[in-house]
Structure 1
Amino acid sequence: MLSIIALFTIIIIVALLISNKITPIVALVLVPIVAAFVAGFSFAEIGDFFNSGVESVISVVIMFIFAILFFGIMQDVGLFDPLINKMIAVSKGNVIAVAVGTVVIAAVAQLDGSGASTFLITIPALLPLYKRLKMNPYLLLLLVGTSASIMNMLPWAGPLGRTAAVLGMDVTELWRPLIKVQVIGLILLIALAVLLAMREKRLIARRGDFNKEIFEEADPLDVTAQDEKSQKAAALRRPKLLWANTLLALAVIGVLVWGVIPAGLAFMIGVSIALPLNYPDMKDQMDRIKDHAPNALLMAAIILAAGSFLGILEGTLMLDSIASDLVTILPAFVIPYLHLIIGFFGVPFDLLLSTDAYYFALFPIVEQVVTGAGVSSLTAAYAMIIGNIIGTFVSPFSPALWLALGLAGLEMGRHIRYSLPIMWGFSIVLLAVSVLVGVV
């Protein structure tokens, strides 16, 4: 009976998350509470489960809040502008150089862990180049999305935070083995960008100007609004403090990799230094916090709600029950490889499940099942992260992707048709490489 209640709980949560009718917070908080009541647990017991779940994710919440604030400030002061501008200048006029430059620029822009800011930086900067060179703008979206997805394995990005919350472990410990996967992934993506650019050169010669068809009916940009945004962004830049901010960012990341202090404390110190360094006036400091607080608090609230959800499912033994019953249903030879099977189909899963549903509903079940067969929790986590994460920006459940499509004047359906086969193939290759290098 407990397994049936657990299964219905997860199905309802996944359905609510997919429907986009309510926020993840509502689904992750209310549905498990109702399920716990149905299973016969009292208010006091549910309260204990909640406390246990929230305690397991609180360090992740602190890290998220201050990491988003820190990298938001670094974007504001223009820390990454010189590198991005240099890449744009170097790549002009050469299709292959533009494609490779797109990968590098997107990787740098994604350092703050925000897909929305990555697209805001890359699409307006690179789209004119693609149009001028008659390159397919869907290639731009494919390369930016894949590069950002690889960088999305950073500890302050969403997927690792969600996974760490499920496993109840420090997110930087989870990230360290993935650094080599990110490096290999970017090298493979640069090689893929070269191949796709060579194909693009042949297609340009055959088809003429691809961009006319896409952009001839696009609405003109609101020049006034763009000017206001540019002026506001320029006022926040601190070019004279470039080296100071570079050293600060390197120090924070170095301490993070070193692991000598908790990640939350490292970013808390970084924010505390970055604010007065760049904005001596207290009002300006508060404005920077207010600007980035919505993103930070939203992610923190979702992780806390997930902690409540997981605390209740674990405290009521629902996860244990559904895992033990799954073991009896699945063929014995499949169970030790279930995490690899799910990882293999990770990108298509992104078209069916939101990120929250994948990590908070599917992953806990798979982890419970395979650990019973002797597979470590970390191995299961890495297989599902690497297999799924490349599909982040080909999923209609990604708000940042809709922003990118709006900025570029492109269509979701055409993007999925163009990018899905390539991104899925790349994901499978990266998963295979991860197995070969011993991460999975």
Structure 2
Amino acid sequence: MSLSIIGFLTILIIVLLLISNKVTPIVAMVLVPLIGALIAGFGFSEIGDFFTEGTLTVIEVAIMFIFAILFFGVMQEAGLFDPLIRNMIRLTRGNVITVSVGTVFVAAIAHLDGSGASTFLITIPALLPLYKHLKMNPYLLLLLIGGSASIMNMVPWAGPLGRTASVLNMDVTELWRPLIPIQITGLILMIALAVFLGIMEKRRISKYHGLVSAEESAAAIERMNGDSTAAQEKESLARPKLLWVNAILFLSVIGILVWGIIPAGFAFMIGLSIALPLNYPNMKQQTKIMRMHAPSALMMATIILAAGSFLGILTGTGMLDSIAEDLVTIIPAFIAPYLHLIIGFFGVPFDLLLSTDAYYFALLPVVDQIATGFGIASLSTAYSMVIGNIVGTFVSPFSPALWLALGLAGLEMGKHIRYSLLWMWGLSIVLLIVAVLIGVIAV
């Protein structure tokens, strides 16, 4: 139990520090787990091994992040996304509600491959400039993309169902089929949420920035080509004549990313190596573009590596497994028959305490064992835990893809949690109730 307490306090302190913005994520995720491991009785040599194992699990994400940011930076400077933004504003007529709903559809389609990283890499660079031009809250963008992608994350080739199927020793496709109505319901609820939040966002923009007409929205982009030094510099870097060439290169890289024939980091590395000389033959210009986007790429890459260290230490010390096992032993006996529903109800908050592996590989087997003793089928337990937890996938600091999204959008983890957690938790509870009503989960 002492190991669980140390682990719980370690995670709690990190979450509180992230939410309060008292220190940078690197400080919180390096020092707090280190102190926790030392208090638990582990030596520096052991902790060093945990660090190595943890960083190895995220090194590919860090590499991908560095080269993805640089690649998208080149595409942005070359002006690839400017026509897309203009056309989206014209199609939506500057309507904040329409943009919000469109974000849900775009994210759902982008997440068909089941990869959170590729979803954020596809959607955020394309949609973030539109949100900025319409003065929409970028945290709303992250909420809508993350929520929609989480619903689509129930597909059998995504991580959660694969982990669940391995625990239950069953075919993942059979596990997925009953969840299709839940996914459809979830997307409908996400659209409804997008409409509601879009209305609220429209009122906020009107209050603080005044009403913006469609013409004014479109003109906002044109003002980028004003008389300021920054605007002139941006115009000098744009390559409108290479628009279609850049578009083909961009789609090719994304296609390779979705196809998965080579590692994502290598795909972006190749894309960057082609994009730089293609758009900027002069080596000084290439260096200038790299320097413009390198700081944000390296900063978030260091945060991802710190997150890997954090996960490695908590996993290696056994804190995560201990938390998962001890959580169910302190639950009163009279609520044990409803344990699967209770764990599902608190699934999203568990995302702040447990990694995906700990939730499915450590907590699920224990809950299933207890629930089975009270006549609850293993499938009901699994569905309750999956539906209750999966919506919070991209609200958790344990998600490397979320750190990627935050870096792409230039946002903070603490503010994202404050903005999105309650909405995602509410959505998961509604889906849990729907699953019970249609019989996917037995009570």
Shorter-chain TM band:
0.5 to 0.7
Within the candidate set 356, 363, 374, 1:369 is matched to 363
Q: Once the 2 structures are TM-superposed, how far is the Cα of residue 360 of structure 1 from its aligned partner? A: 6.7
Change (3 A) 1:189 1:49: closer
- For structure 1, the residue ranges without an aligned partner over 5 or more in a row are 128-136, 155-161, 168-176, 350-356, 393-397, 405-411
1:6-56 deviation per Cα after TM superposition (whole angstroms, max 9, x unaligned): 222222222222221111111111112122222222121111111111112
Equivalent-residue separation in structure 2 for 1:399 and 1:73 (angstroms): 19
Give the equivalent residue in structure 1 for 2:346: 342
Quick check: 1:250 aligned with 2:251?
yes
Equivalent-residue separation in structure 2 for 1:359 and 1:278 (angstroms): 43
Within the candidate set 132, 139, 142, 1:123 is matched to 132
Counterpart code for 1:313: L
Give the equivalent residue in structure 2 for 1:386: 391
Q: Once the 2 structures are TM-superposed, how far is the Cα of residue 104 of structure 1 from its aligned partner? A: 3.9
Quick check: 1:267 aligned with 2:268?
yes
Change (3 A) 1:237 1:112: farther
Give the equivalent residue in structure 1 for 2:208: 214
- Report which stretch shifted further, 266-275 or 66-75: 66-75
Within the candidate set 97, 100, 109, 2:98 is matched to 100
Quick check: 1:19 aligned with 2:17?
no
Give the equivalent residue in structure 2 for 1:276: 277
Counterpart code for 1:341: F
Equivalent-residue separation in structure 2 for 1:281 and 1:240 (angstroms): 17
Change (3 A) 1:255 1:52: same
Q: Secondary structure at the residue paired with 1:250? A: helix
Quick check: 1:317 aligned with 2:294?
no
- For structure 2, the residue ranges without an aligned partner over 5 or more in a row are 111-118, 152-158, 165-175, 211-219, 369-377, 398-404
Pairing of 1:412-427 with structure 2 (within 5 A):
none
Counterpart code for 1:100: T
Counterpart code for 2:31: L
Give the equivalent residue in structure 1 for 2:71: 70
If the length of structure 1 is used for normalisation, what is the TM-score?
Answer: 0.64
Counterpart code for 2:131: T
Contact kept in structure 1, 2:33 and 2:310, CA below 8 Å = yes
Equivalent-residue separation in structure 2 for 1:115 and 1:278 (angstroms): 22
Equivalent-residue separation in structure 2 for 1:382 and 1:333 (angstroms): 18
1:363-402 deviation per Cα after TM superposition (whole angstroms, max 9, x unaligned): 56544312444589x986785352464899xxxxx989x9
Equivalent-residue separation in structure 1 for 2:66 and 2:435 (angstroms): 30
- Report which stretch shifted further, 276-285 or 328-337: 328-337
Counterpart code for 2:97: A
Equivalent-residue separation in structure 2 for 1:382 and 1:223 (angstroms): 44
Change (3 A) 1:48 1:370: same
Q: Once the 2 structures are TM-superposed, how far is the Cα of residue 340 of structure 1 from its aligned partner? A: 3.4
Contact kept in structure 2, 1:151 and 1:182, CA below 8 Å = no
Q: Once the 2 structures are TM-superposed, how far is the Cα of residue 121 of structure 1 from its aligned partner? A: 3.7
Q: Secondary structure at the residue paired with 1:321? A: helix
Change (3 A) 1:327 1:102: closer
Counterpart code for 2:59: I
If the length of structure 2 is used for normalisation, what is the TM-score?
Answer: 0.63
Equivalent-residue separation in structure 2 for 1:9 and 1:267 (angstroms): 35
Equivalent-residue separation in structure 2 for 1:182 and 1:298 (angstroms): 35
Change (3 A) 1:7 1:423: closer
Contact kept in structure 2, 1:306 and 1:360, CA below 8 Å = no
Quick check: 1:33 aligned with 2:34?
yes
Q: Once the 2 structures are TM-superposed, how far is the Cα of residue 189 of structure 1 from its aligned partner? A: 5.6
Contact kept in structure 2, 1:78 and 1:238, CA below 8 Å = yes
How many percent identity over aligned positions? Answer: 46
